[in-house]
Every structure is written in C-alpha cells, then in structure tokens.
Amino acid sequence: MQMPEKVNVLLIGGGGREHALATAITRSPRLGTLYATHTSNPGIARLAQPVDVPVSSNEIYRLAQFCDKNNIELVVIGPEDPLADGWADALRKKADGSQRMIFGPGAKGAQLEADKAYAKQMMKAASVPTAEGKVFQKFEQAQEFLRTRDELYVIKATGLAKGKGVIVPKTNEEGIEAARDMLVNKSFGNASKSILVEESLNGTEVSVLALLDGHNILVLPPCQDHKRLLEGDEGPNTGGMGAFCPADTISEPVMHQIESEVLVPIADALRRDEIEFRGVLYAGLMLTPAGPKVLEFNVRFGDPECQPLMTRLQSDAIELLWATAAGTLDQIDVQYSPQPCVSLVLASKGYPDAPEVGKVITGIEDAEQQEGVFVYHAGTKLDEDGNVVTSGGRVLSVTALGDTMEQARQRAYDAAKKISFDGVQYRRDIAKDAPVASV
Ligand code: AMP
Ligand code: GLY
C-alpha cells in the first residue's frame, strides 16, 4: 500500500523505549496525529493524543474500533506482551476489510521471544549457533541433569518474565535452587512452567537489532546494553541499566557473520513456517572464542537500546516504520547521526526486586536543556498536584549525543546529576569501556 501524505499513528507501550519512539515519530513531517495508549507517561503525553477506550487483550476489538474511527494507518507496538498476545493480528484488519500497517510481528512470530523452547528449536532446525540447552518441566529431572554436570549452566524461564527470568548462577547447586524456585515455587507463574537449562557461555555480550519486513533484512547499528544492576557487571540482571550506540565492539566481519549465520537463516525459517514477521528481530549474542552464539531473541526494540538508536536516527521514522510494515525496506535509505549516543537509566531504590515509587522528581527540565541531551520518561507519572513522580523501577533514560563517545557519556552524566529523587540509583560505568568512536 502507498504511504499517504500524512499518516495517523498509534503507539502502544509506555516505557522509555516508547517515549524515544514517540520523539522520533513526532519529528517526521509525515505525521498526521500521534495517538498513544500510555499517555500516563508524561513524556509521551507531551507528544501524543490519548486513547479513550479500554486497552487490553480481552477487549482488543475496542482498540481496533478506535483505529478505524481515527483513521489510524500505522500501529507501532513497542513491548513484547501485546505482541505475544496477538495485538498485531487483531489490529491489522480494518473495518472496510483492507489492511492497516502494523510494526511488530503477530503472535506466531512473537513466539521467538515468548517461548524460549520454541526459539531454541527453531535455531537448531536452522543451524543457528546458540548455547546448548535442554528443556525441563519436572524439577527432579532438571536437578538430576544439573547434579551430573561439571560445567556451569544458566537457568531460564521459557515464558515472558519481564526480562528477569534468567538466572546466571555461580555453581550448579545454585542453579538447582533456581530451578526449584521456577518449577516448584512457580516464581514466574506460567512463564516458568518449563525451564531451559543452558550451557553458560563466556565472552562479550552484544545486541544486534535488525528490521525484518517479510522479504528484506535491515541491520541496525550495533548497540550494547548493560544488564547488571551494579558497576563492573555485578548484581542481579535487570531489564537494562544503560546502553550506547554504536557499539564498535563488533568488527565488520563478525557483523557479517552474525547476519549470515543468524539473521538470514532465522528470516528464512520464519518464511518457511509462513510467519510474516514485520518488525524488530533482536538477537542477544555472546561473542565466544568459538564465534558468536545466540543467547536469546526478542521481537521488539530493546529498552534501553532503542533510546540511543532512535536518538541517532536522522531519517524519517514514520517512513522507516512504514516500510518495515509494508515490506518495502529495500526502497528506503536510512541515515543516522554520525554522533555516538549514550543512555543512562536512572532507577528507583529497590529495583529490580521491589522498587520504591511515588518519589517526586526534580531537575528534568534543567537536564533537558543541556546540549545534546534528551530525557526519556519510563517509570514516571504526574501526581494530583502535577508533580512528576516515580512510578516504576526504571524511571528515566538520560540520553546524550556527543562528538565522541566520551563526550556523549560526559554529557549524559552531567545531565543526570541535575536530576534528583529519593533513592535514585544509576551505574557510573555506562559506556566506560566503549571503544573510541568519534565523528
Ligand atoms: P536473556 O534474557 O536470555 O538475554 O538473558 C539475560 C542475561 O543473562 C543475558 O544478557 C546474559 O548476560 C545472561 N545469559 C543468558 N544466557 C546466558 C548463557 N547461556 N551464558 C551466560 N550468560 C547468559
Ligand atoms: N535491554 C534488553 C531488553 O530490552 O531486553
């Protein structure tokens, strides 16, 4: 379908990733009206009109009606849950029978993220290099397996667990306890009805994100995320404490290897299974001495990786998202700022287990006025008095462009210092060891 002169867009999701997407979308001269499901996020509220119908999987037809009523031509689905729940499938068909453009795969494609056992099976079938793994439903069998192994294993809930369903134990004894927690104590509910016990890999971790449109693959600039809570990669895994882009840790030949050994075979396998995948394929990889190996797939932009990516995007975001949904990625040219970008997550005290919320945040505007700085809202809301307060674990993504990675980093940290709320915590070493990249 031809892209109209002006496009009304619906953005689904309410985190820092979606605020960064909304910011990029509103820069586009092709935008008609931007609507958003999560205008409780004050950053998104500044840019988008609210959706005035209930937004839920049970009543997804209400959102479909809303799209019809408001002539929404493009829907951008940010998070994994609505993708796994089939919102892309439900919103694709317009009342007049024609197709609406949807950025994000349908439920079948989303299984690559929502079911780690399925993803493993697909990787095996497509000969994609990945950590060896076994799926267990019964704790006793997992225990028996782990007891008899010398090498170390990682324990993963197979379902969606908000980025927290992976335990990287120091010993297999600890691994057995993690397996017990998941399978017996159901620590992640249905998401840990079965677990994947996977060989523990060493190396540098990288995320490679690509846009798939059903025919073409467009690899996005490499980013690196920092998943552990504390400096020096200590502490529990989180959804991500900061990211930088480009991550020149990946050499050009390795990037090509990842494309030909991972992205192309998966895109082919999806096509063979008649799954039209139109959205982001995110491969989390470990660069091991034996070559790159996949740790996981996501079917959406990473959060916080999306923040530096969208901040660097110079091309028209609507054209890019539309081309992905329409299958015409081969017809567009995508430009990024030559400036590197660093994004820090300011998190609440108690994150990731039990974040404290309701704390008044000050200094956001001051931070936003710094050169090259963008503050994306994630876990924030307005209280009754109109104050911006914390409402989740990851509160803000303080993001900065600079002429060098070091300058971007400095700007982000200087801006972060201007923001305060009770219990704020953030890592001081985001992008610290990033390779020197300059304009
Ligand atoms: P995932 O959600 O699968 O990316 O896992 C979360 C984090 O756990 C990853 O970012 C890695 O740091 C770590 N991890 C996952 N799988 C493995 C593995 N097989 N070996 C070592 N670390 C892993
Ligand atoms: N930053 C990692 C993720 O979005 O899964």
Report residue 155 as tokens: 């324990």
- Separation of 293 CA from ligand 1 center, angstroms? 11
- Separation of 165 CA from ligand 1 center, angstroms? 10
C-alpha angle with apex 122: 120 to 128, nearest 5 degrees? 80
Distance between CA atoms of residues 108 and 431, nearest Å? 35
Q: Are 223 and 312 in contact (CB under 8 A)?
A: no
pLDDT tens per residue, range 346-368: 999 999 999 999 999 999 999 99
Report residue 43 as tokens: 């950053």
Q: What 8-state DSSP symbol labels residue 260?
A: I
Distance between CA atoms of residues 109 and 83, nearest Å? 9
Give the rounded percent of residues in the chain with a pLDDT score beyond 70: 99
Q: Does the pLDDT value for residue 434 go beyond 80?
A: no
pLDDT at 437: 47
Left if phi > 0, otherwise alpha if psi is -120 to 50, otherwise beta: which for 140?
alpha
pLDDT tens per residue, range 294-338: 999 999 999 999 999 999 999 999 999 999 999 999 999 999 999
pLDDT at 435: 64
At 292, the amino acid letter reads P
Q: Are 402 and 337 in contact (CB under 8 A)?
A: no
CA end-to-end distance (rounded Å), the chain: 38
Distance between CA atoms of residues 136 and 190, nearest Å? 14
Q: Helix H segments across 166-235? A: 172-183
Distance between CA atoms of residues 32 and 35, nearest Å? 10
Cα–Cα nearest to 419, from 372, 368, 379, 371: 368
- Separation of 71 CA from ligand 2 center, angstroms? 32
Report residue 383 as tokens: 């209280």
- Separation of 326 CA from ligand 1 center, angstroms? 33
pLDDT tens per residue, range 260-294: 999 999 999 999 999 999 999 999 999 999 999 99
Q: Does the pLDDT value for residue 151 go beyond 80?
A: yes
User: Of ligand 2's atoms, which has the minimum distance to the CA of residue 240?
Assistant: 1
Report residue 357 as tokens: 């919320």
Distance between CA atoms of residues 296 and 285, nearest Å? 7
**Residue tagged 């001495």 (tokens):** 289
Looking at CATH, the fold of the domain delimited by 132-199 is given as: Dna Ligase; domain 1 (3.30.1490)
pLDDT at 249: 75
Distance between CA atoms of residues 249 and 241, nearest Å? 18
Q: Are 203 and 136 in contact (CB under 8 A)?
A: no
Ranges of each domain in the chain = 8-106, 132-199
Report residue 74 as tokens: 């493009």
Q: Does the pLDDT value for residue 105 go beyond 90?
A: yes
Q: Does the pLDDT value for residue 83 go beyond 80?
A: yes
For a ligand 1 pocket test, name from 152, 160, 166, 201 the mutation site with the most ligand atoms within 8 angstroms of its C-beta. 166
**How many residues belong to the chain?**
439
**Quick one: how far is CA 133 from the chain centroid?**
23
Q: Closest Cα to atom 5, ligand 2: which residue?
A: 302
Q: Closest Cα to atom 8, ligand 1: which residue?
A: 166
Q: What are phi and psi of 175, to 5 degrees?
A: -60, -40
Distance between CA atoms of residues 200 and 158, nearest Å? 16
User: Of ligand 1's atoms, which has the minimum distance to the CA of residue 131?
Assistant: 19
pLDDT, average across residues 383-387: 96
Q: What 8-state DSSP symbol labels residue 367?
A: H
Report residue 264 as tokens: 């192309």
Distance between CA atoms of residues 193 and 213, nearest Å? 32
- Separation of 163 CA from ligand 2 center, angstroms? 7
Which residues surround ligand 2 with Cβ inside 6 Å?
A: 163, 225, 239-240, 298, 302-303, 305
Q: Are 304 and 377 in contact (CB under 8 A)?
A: no
For a ligand 2 pocket test, name from 17, 21, 207 the mutation site with the most ligand atoms within 8 angstroms of its C-beta. 207
- Is 132-199 the same fold as 8-106? no
Q: What 8-state DSSP symbol labels residue 199?
A: E
Using alpha carbons only, how large is the chain's radius of gyration in Å? 21
- Separation of 173 CA from ligand 1 center, angstroms? 18
pLDDT, average across residues 165-184: 94
pLDDT at 162: 79
pLDDT at 436: 54
- Class of domain 8-106 (CATH, top level): alpha beta
Q: Does the pLDDT value for residue 13 go beyond 90?
A: yes
Distance between CA atoms of residues 115 and 203, nearest Å? 25
For a ligand 2 pocket test, name from 81, 116, 225 the mutation site with the most ligand atoms within 8 angstroms of its C-beta. 225
Q: Are 35 and 50 in contact (CB under 8 A)?
A: yes
Report residue 222 as tokens: 């490499």
pLDDT tens per residue, range 189-229: 999 999 999 999 999 888 899 999 999 999 999 888 898 99
Q: Which long-range contacts (CB under 8 A, 24 or more apart) does 378-387 make?
A: 378/15, 378/16, 378/19, 378/41, 378/303, 378/345, 379/15, 379/348, 379/355, 380/41, 380/42, 380/43, 381/40, 381/41, 381/42, 382/42, 383/358, 387/360, 387/361
When mean pLDDT is compared across 61-65, 150-154, 352-356, 432-436, the lowest value belongs to 432-436
Report residue 366 as tokens: 């001051």
- Separation of 417 CA from ligand 1 center, angstroms? 31
Which residues surround ligand 1 with Cβ inside 6 Å?
A: 131, 154, 156, 166, 168, 198-201, 205, 227, 237, 284, 295-296
- Separation of 162 CA from ligand 1 center, angstroms? 14
